Amino acid sequence: MNIEATNSLATKVESVTTLRIVSRFVVYVPLIALTLFGLVSIPAEVAMSSEIETGIFSQIEIDLASSTITLNEAQVLRVRAIRELSSLPEKYLAIELDNPQLSNLIAGGISSRCATATLLQAWREMDDMSSALRSELQLLQVRPSSQVGFDSPLEHFKLHYDTIGTNAVPTLDNDASGIPDFIERIALYADSSWLMQVETFGYLPPPSDGLEGGDSRYDIYFENISFFGFVQPELVGPESWNDAISYMVLNNNFIGLSVNSDPEGNEIGAAKATVAHEFQHSVQLAYDFADELWFMESSATWMEDMLFDEVNDNYNFFPSFHSAPQTALTKELSPHYYATFIWPMYLSQRYDTSLMRQAWEGARFKDVMEALADSLPIVHGVSRDSAFTEFVLWAYLTGQRDDGQHFEEAAAYPDMKIVDTVSILPVSNLQVGLKPQGYGSSFVRFIPIGDSGTLQLSFQGNLSRNWRATVVATRGANDHDVFNIALDSSQFGTLLISQFEQYSEVTLIGINLTAYSVSAEFSYSGEIISGAAVAGVAVTDTIAYTLRDNHVGYRFTNFGINTDSFVVSASDSAGWGASVIGPTLISLAAGADTTVVVSVIPPAGVLPGASSAVIVKVISQVNSSAKDSVVINQVVSIYRGDSNWDGKVNIADVTYLISWIFTGGSGPVPEWIAGDATCDGVVNIADITYLIGVIFQGLSFPVCNVVDPL
């Protein structure tokens, strides 16, 4: 490897707005003496290195927190622990795991799957290091030397391995091919990964390394490491975006690293999952080596399931998500970022597997989550926030709550953690026990014990965040009703649920949609309402046109226990003269609903951009305290085709345009685009022809005008 070529790394990194620092990486490997490919025990040196590394990573974090070492020094020490353990200072090699201070830092069980994030973080920050640290890191990134090379059957990979020495692979050769069965299996898994990821899903292949490793095939090496494997970036790639040339290193036997459901055994399952996982990292480096580490691990762990669904090694990480849903989806913390594979799993099952590829394609030019925010509305007509809100619902309806309508394997997923449980009503303005971080959520359960009637739930989110509030009302383990609480601009909303007693539990879900934000609180209230009760929701668009009769709608429900009559009224903040169309006294049976339509006509001279808050109120005749209201903001826009700005589209507009285009008359008002009936960005004879078709031939009104849903 030409280590001087890495100097161009800085040029590419400069184009990235933010490089998020990888969270503290801790290693834990449960070593179990199992048999794989003819081996019957774990070499003592493997067990020892695993135990030492666990303490080493913990001690590095302690030293970093106490400023004993710098961040760059910590990064190099981590890489040394991964790539050349014996080169570490004696201070770290002498560490024992029974030190309580260190043992308490070991997080969440199995988290040693992949060292790629740690290696990548150090590599992409090399140019910020001192020359001494940079040189040390470059030497640590040099490829291993191996005794034998083997080309995979489809010739996409060259596998480099040893048959003797510390890094020797299992040598069992049942088919007498001269190649260890272990290597032949890995080669098949690697080719399968290429076929699925590159040829089926359409990802870019890893950038070519030229003749490194002997030829242009992608290189895989095997070493005696306590990790499952890793991808080592070594050179920036040839493209204008942040691509990188890399190679892969895999565990030389996979003994005792995983408990999974592969029918061929844990070690084979671990090998399958690791090859799929690490090759996805290699593919990711064809797009953006500087993107978010959590998404890299999330999508790599998801890819395991796409290729080898029978393995389910990724189930080991579920507790990190379902037991702490308040943690940000984007949190770069092992093993949490492995557990977030459930997010791309949702995207692929709810929409399409191509969404993940589209996200990585977009990541060449922007943050990968920004790329998702672009792809979801364009391709599927849904915002990223709305998709995440639905994802939280899917993640909740797992385990015992699975209804067979969400995740395909939801029954095998764990139950979501409930933060608070309320069994005695009423409660008022209680603060949620665990505050959600950005793109995190918390769950509050209400259980009817002797309560009957209508349950009124209130939600109040922290004003500095954007919130969604969803309610799941459960009759039985697999029978749920789902409601959304409409929140106003102050992040407050209420919901009425009739016949509370018919449900076994009602769960309020608060979702913090301010991405990358720190934790913030929401509060909730609940009470049983008897007698009269009413609640409603806006059903309309926000666009209004000057001098035209614009309609806004409000659908409300009688949540009381008897038939009731309701007085409906309307007003608006700008004085445009909002008025209810139809009766203002409406009788509704218990549980029935109706939609009220309100007319709003902005007067002459109201310019585009002007707005008015339309307020619709409904009050019970039985009990005046039972009331509800909604604020529907209306913003004036230009109605295409109404070139003379009189609120109508008729022959006068045709005459007006003819005068402007051919005789120098006044132009369309209030702006020229009022004459653009064809919505093509220009005003010409085509607009005159189109308007004639609208007026005399029944053509539809200009397509760029918002169609009134009422």
CATH of the domain at 572: 2.60.40.10
346 and 471 in a single domain? The answer is yes
Q: Strand, helix or coil at 310?
A: coil
pLDDT 10s digits, 446-499: 999 988 888 999 999 999 999 999 999 999 878 999 999 999 989 999 999 988
So what's the pLDDT on residue 604? 94
Judgement on whether residues 513 and 552 belong to the same structural domain of the protein: no
> In this structure, is residue 542 part of a structural domain?
yes
Residues 91 and 129 grouped into a single domain: yes
**Domain annotation covers residue 262:** no
- Residue 625, CA atoms < 13 Å, CB-side half-sphere: 3
Average pLDDT over residues 578-586: 96
Question: Residues with Cβ < 8 Å from 689, sequence gap 6 or more?
Answer: none
pLDDT of residue 338: 95
Range of lowest pLDDT (84-98, 307-321, 437-451, 605-619): 84-98
Domain boundary among 613, 637, 661: 637
* 335 and 480 housed in the same domain: yes
- Checking if the pLDDT of 34 tops 80, the result is no
Q: Which two tokens stand for residue 342?
A: 């459930």
pLDDT at 566 over 50: yes
Examine the fold and report which residue of 524, 547, 565 is the final residue of a domain before the chain moves on.
Answer: 524
pLDDT in tens, 347-361: 999 999 999 999 999
CB-hemisphere CA count at 13 Å for 290? 23
pLDDT at 118: 93
Same domain? For 436 and 565 the reply is: no
44 located within any domain: yes
Query: Do 651 and 698 lie in a common domain?
Result: yes
- Of the three residues 505, 524, 543, the one that is the final residue of a domain is 524
| Average pLDDT taken over every residue of the chain | 88
Split at pLDDT 50, 70, 90, the class of 396 is very high
Q: Are 588 and 703 within one domain?
A: no
**Cβ–Cβ contacts within 10 Å for residue 430, how many?**
14
Q: Write out the residue range of the structural domain in which residue 606 sits.
A: 534-637
**What pLDDT, on the 0 to 100 scale, is given for residue 476?**
83
The CA distance from 475 to 506, in Å, is 9
Do both 434 and 486 map to the same domain?
A: yes
CA angle 542, 543, 544 (to 5 degrees): 125
User: pLDDT category, 9, cuts 50, 70, 90?
Assistant: low
pLDDT at residue 684 is higher than 60: yes
pLDDT at 67: 95
Looking at residue 474, which CATH number applies to its domain? 2.60.120.380
Q: Cβ contacts of residue 284 below 8 Å, gap of 6+? A: 291, 296, 299, 300, 360
Residue 46 has pLDDT above 80, yes or no: no
Q: Band the pLDDT of 112: cuts 50, 70, 90.
A: low
Closest CA to 368 of 463, 288, 311, 267: 288
pLDDT band, residue 98 (cuts 50/70/90)? very low
Q: In this structure, is residue 113 part of a structural domain?
A: yes
What digits encode the pLDDT tens for the residues 512-521? 999 999 999 9
Residue 27 reports pLDDT greater than 80: no
Torsion of CA 136, 140, 143, 147, to 10 degrees: 120
Number of domains comprising the chain: 4
Q: Give me the torsion for CA of 430, 432, 437, 438, rounded to 10°.
A: -60
Q: Does residue 11 carry a pLDDT above 80?
A: no
Tell whether the model's pLDDT for residue 21 goes beyond 60: no
